[in-house]
């Protein structure tokens, strides 16, 4: 087992103390590698190459929630033989580490790798949830996303992302886009048990700007939106003007009445023919 501990990299003494306690707990049982904050490491960092080359299962403790930590590490090929993530944000991380390492004591090693890194901001995609619809790629004006050779979504230019902005996470229909350092909505940060749901206003903006077919009204392309002040009906999903107000869904009782009437008509038809 290789234990990877990612430092916060600030002057926060309490954070440093938590990291050092994890190092001390791990050092008796495993090879320990201490690295700078993984989210801020440059794409081309030699540390990523070193981590991707680790043999065997990896237990990684970071200052991110587990879901974004896992997908950040997987994007860089870390833990292909097994990956477990622990969050230093969680109160129970020490107990969880003890349970994972077992009671084994002995000669572990500790190695610390350092590298200067400037703060970064970019999306991390949960590949288990992504359905490759391409909406984030169409929505982003800055070319952060691209289609890979097989059409798969790729975060091709992460550093073109606008710092502090999580806009595309509000458009994704699957809650797959995470901004791990976003502090105003823990669903966007990927907190356990929280899932981002699409924002209707962001979805309407996407439909209007990109002309994607609307799953509700079936219109596609840059169809006209109603004039300001108009009370013309609009599609609640894409915001495009509707030719007429949508038919209200019939109540369950009305559906049965319609079926009864149809059966009566069929009976009458059958009687006339016999």
Q: Is 38 helix (H, G, I), strand (E, B) or coil?
A: helix
Give the integer Cα–Cα distance in Å for 58 and 35: 14
| Shortest Å, Cβ 212 to ligand SF4 | 11
Angle between helix 13-27 and helix 93-101 axes, rounded to 10 deg: 10
Does 209 participate in binding ligand SF4 (rule CB under 6 A)? no
| Shortest Å, Cβ 170 to ligand SF4 | 9
Pairing of strands 124-125, 177-178: antiparallel
- Closest to 188 in 3D by CA, of 164, 210, 160: 164
Angle at 169 (CA atoms; ends 165, 174), nearest 5 degrees:
175
Give the integer Cα–Cα distance in Å for 40 and 120: 5
Q: Is 151 helix (H, G, I), strand (E, B) or coil?
A: coil
- Residues 138-157 touching ligand SF4, rule: CB under 6 A, are 139-140, 142, 144, 153
* Of residues 85 and 176, the one with the C-beta less far from ligand SF4: 176
**Count of residues near ligand SF4 by CB under 6 A:** 24
* Of residues 2 and 169, the one with the C-beta less far from ligand SF4: 169
| Shortest Å, Cβ 197 to ligand SF4 | 12
| Shortest Å, Cβ 150 to ligand SF4 | 13
- Cβ within 8 Å of residue 253, ≥6 positions away: none
* Of residues 38 and 125, the one with the C-beta less far from ligand SF4: 125
| Shortest Å, Cβ 130 to ligand SF4 | 3
Contact string 177-206 vs ligand SF4 (x = CB under 6 A) = x-----------------------------
Among the listed residues 9, 68, 166, 190, the single contact to ligand SF4 using CB under 6 A: 166
Contact string 102-141 vs ligand SF4 (x = CB under 6 A) = ---------------------x-x----xxxxxxx--xx-
Q: Is 84 helix (H, G, I), strand (E, B) or coil?
A: strand
Does 176 participate in binding ligand SF4 (rule CB under 6 A)? yes
Among the listed residues 5, 25, 64, 168, the single contact to ligand SF4 using CB under 6 A: 168
Give the integer Cα–Cα distance in Å for 161 and 169: 12
Q: Are 229 and 208 a contacting pair, CB within 8 Å?
A: no
Angle at 141 (CA atoms; ends 136, 143), nearest 5 degrees:
75
| Shortest Å, Cβ 76 to ligand SF4 | 18
Give the integer Cα–Cα distance in Å for 67 and 85: 8
Phi-psi region of 211 (alpha: psi -120 to 50; beta: other; left: phi over 0): left
* Of residues 48 and 122, the one with the C-beta less far from ligand SF4: 122
Give the H/E segment covering residue 23.
helix 13-27
Among the listed residues 35, 124, 167, 214, the single contact to ligand SF4 using CB under 6 A: 167
| Shortest Å, Cβ 66 to ligand SF4 | 19
Positions in the binding site for ligand SF4 (CB under 6 A): 123, 125, 130-136, 139-140, 142, 144, 153, 161-162, 165-168, 172, 174, 176-177
């Amino acid at each position: 087992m290789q234990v990877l501990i990612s430092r916060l990299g600030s002057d926060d003494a309490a954070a440093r103390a938590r990291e050092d306690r994890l190092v001390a707990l791990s050092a008796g049982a495993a090879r320990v590698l201490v690295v700078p904050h993984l989210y801020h490491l440059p794409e081309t960092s030699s540390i990523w190459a070193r981590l991707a080359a680790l043999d065997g299962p990896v237990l990684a403790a970071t200052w991110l929630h587990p879901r974004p930590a896992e997908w950040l590490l997987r994007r860089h090929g870390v833990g292909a033989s097994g990956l477990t993530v622990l969050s230093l944000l969680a109160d129970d991380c020490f107990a969880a580490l003890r349970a994972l390492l077992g009671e084994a004591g002995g000669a572990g090693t500790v190695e610390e790798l350092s590298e200067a890194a400037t703060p970064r901001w970019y999306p991390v995609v949960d590949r288990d949830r992504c359905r490759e619809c391409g909406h984030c790629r169409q929505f982003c004006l800055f070319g952060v996303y691209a289609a890979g050779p097989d059409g798969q979504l790729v975060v091709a230019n992460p550093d073109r992302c606008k710092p502090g902005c999580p806009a595309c996470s509000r458009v994704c229909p699957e809650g797959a886009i995470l901004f791990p350092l976003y502090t105003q909505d823990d669903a966007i940060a990927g907190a356990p048990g929280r899932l981002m749901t699409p924002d209707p206003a962001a979805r309407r903006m996407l439909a209007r700007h990109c002309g994607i077919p609307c799953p509700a009204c079936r219109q596609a392309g840059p169809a006209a939106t109603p004039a300001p002040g108009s009370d013309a009906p609009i599609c609640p999903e894409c915001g495009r003007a509707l030719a007429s107000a949508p038919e209200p869904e019939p109540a369950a009782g009305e559906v049965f009445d319609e079926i009864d009437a149809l059966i009566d008509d069929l009976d009458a038809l059958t009687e006339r023919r016999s």
